Amino acid sequence: MLYLLFMLVIGALAGWLAGKIMRGGGFGLPKNILLGIAGAFIGGILFRLVGFRPFGPIGALISATVGAVLLLWIVGRFRRG
């Protein structure tokens, strides 16, 4: 149960940070959480591919934010055409 709460908090923070980095604002709590969780998944895969393993809350937040920014960038590319 505590892990789920940790994931939701990290997801919300990562989604909010990614929104700030990519477009200057967040997306609202539910979308921030979903974006952050998807970003954590993507970031975790990318970090492991280059030989890094995110450790602790700060590492999880960095990994999730990087993954969420990448996800927003990819979605933005598809929307532009």
Is it the case that residue 49 has pLDDT exceeding 80?
yes
Q: What is the mean pLDDT of residues 23-31?
A: 77
Q: What is the mean pLDDT of residues 21-25?
A: 78
DSSP secondary structure, 7-65, as one string = HHHHHHHHHHHHHHHHHSS---HHHHHHHHHHHHHHHHHHHHHTT----HHHHHHHHHH
pTM more than 0.75: yes
CA distances from 3 to 6, 9, 22, 31, 69 (A): 5, 10, 28, 20, 23
pLDDT score recorded for residue 63? 92
Integer Cα distance of 33 and 2 in angstroms:
16
Domain spans, the chain? 2-75
